[in-house]
C-alpha cells in the first residue's frame, strides 16, 4: 500500500469521499508518532552506516534519523561507550562518549578512519507530496495505518463511539505486532524441524 491508497481507504471507511487531503495529512503525525514509539526497536528500524572521520577530528556527527545507538565499530571491533561523566576513563582506555548530536572519540583519529555505526532509526514518515510514498509498516501492515488514521479521525470528529472501537482495534493490532518475538533477544535460535 502507498500513501494515495491509504488516503482512499480512509475516505471509504469514514464514508467521506470529499475528505480534504489537508485534513487527512493532519491525522498522520498522531499515527506515525504512536507507531514510532511502539516499533522503535523493531529489526526493520535498524540502520547501518559507514562514516569517514577526518584525521584529528574527535567529533563524529550522529545521523539525524538516529533514535538509539546500538554500536560503533572500527574494523568490525566494537568501541566502548562511556557515560559523559567518565570522560577520563574513555580518554585513557579508548572509546567514545555521546555529546549532544555527536560522538566524541577517544583518541581522535590520527588518519582518515572509516567507522561503522549500527543504530535504531526513526520510522520513515509518509510524504503527502509523493502519492507513491510508503514505508515498511504501510507495506507489510497497512491495517495499522488504517486503524490509526480512523482512531485519529474519531478524535478529531469527537466520535466517542467510533473512538473506542477504532482505538481498541489499533491498540490490539500494534500489540500483536510487538509480541511477535523480535524483541526477546534470544541467545540461541529457536529449534526448527525440517522434514
pLDDT of residue 166: 92
pLDDT of residue 181: 55
**Domains of the chain by residue range:** 3-40+123-178, 45-121
Cβ atoms 103, 64 nearer than 8 A: no
pTM beyond 0.85: the answer is no
pLDDT of residue 182: 53
Rounded Cα gap, residues 43 and 125, in angstroms = 17
Q: Order of strands across the sheet with 102-106?
A: 59-61, 102-106, 95-99
Q: For 179, what's the count of Cα atoms within 13 Å in the CB-facing half-sphere? A: 6
One pLDDT digit (tens) per residue for the chain, 195 residues: 999 999 999 999 999 999 999 999 999 999 999 999 998 888 888 899 999 999 999 999 999 999 989 999 999 999 998 888 887 877 788 889 988 899 999 898 999 999 999 999 999 899 888 777 999 999 999 999 999 999 999 998 888 888 989 999 999 999 988 887 554 454 444 444 443
Please tell me whether residue 67 adopts helix, strand or coil conformation.
strand
Q: Return the C-alpha cell found at 24.
A: 487527512
Amino acid at each position: 500500500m502507498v500513501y494515495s491508497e491509504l488516503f482512499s481507504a480512509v475516505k471509504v471507511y469514514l464514508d467521506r469521499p470529499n475528505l480534504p487531503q489537508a485534513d487527512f495529512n493532519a491525522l498522520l503525525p498522531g499515527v506515525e508518532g504512536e507507531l514510532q514509539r511502539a516499533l522503535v526497536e523493531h529489526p526493520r528500524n535498524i540502520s547501518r552506516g559507514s562514516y569517514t572521520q577526518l584525521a584529528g577530528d574527535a567529533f563524529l556527527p550522529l545521523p539525524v534519523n538516529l533514535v538509539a545507538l546500538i554500536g560503533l565499530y572500527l574494523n568490525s571491533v566494537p568501541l566502548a561507550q562511556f557515560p559523559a561523566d567518565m570522560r577520563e576513563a574513555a580518554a585513557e582506555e579508548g572509546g567514545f562518549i555521546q555529546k549532544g548530536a555527536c560522538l566524541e572519540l577517544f583518541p581522535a583519529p590520527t588518519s582518515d578512519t572509516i567507522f561503522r555505526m549500527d543504530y535504531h532509526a526513526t520510522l520513515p514518515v509518509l510524504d503527502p507530496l509523493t502519492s507513491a510514498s510508503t514505508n515498511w509498516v504501510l507495506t507489510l501492515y497497512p491495517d495499522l495505518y488504517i486503524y490509526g488514521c480512523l482512531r485519529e479521525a474519531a478524535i478529531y470528529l469527537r466520535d466517542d463511539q467510533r473512538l473506542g472501537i477504532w482505538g481498541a482495534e489499533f491498540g490490539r493490532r500494534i500489540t500483536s505486532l510487538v509480541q511477535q518475538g523480535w524483541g526477546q533477544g534470544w541467545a540461541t535460535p529457536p529449534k526448527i524441524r525440517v522434514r
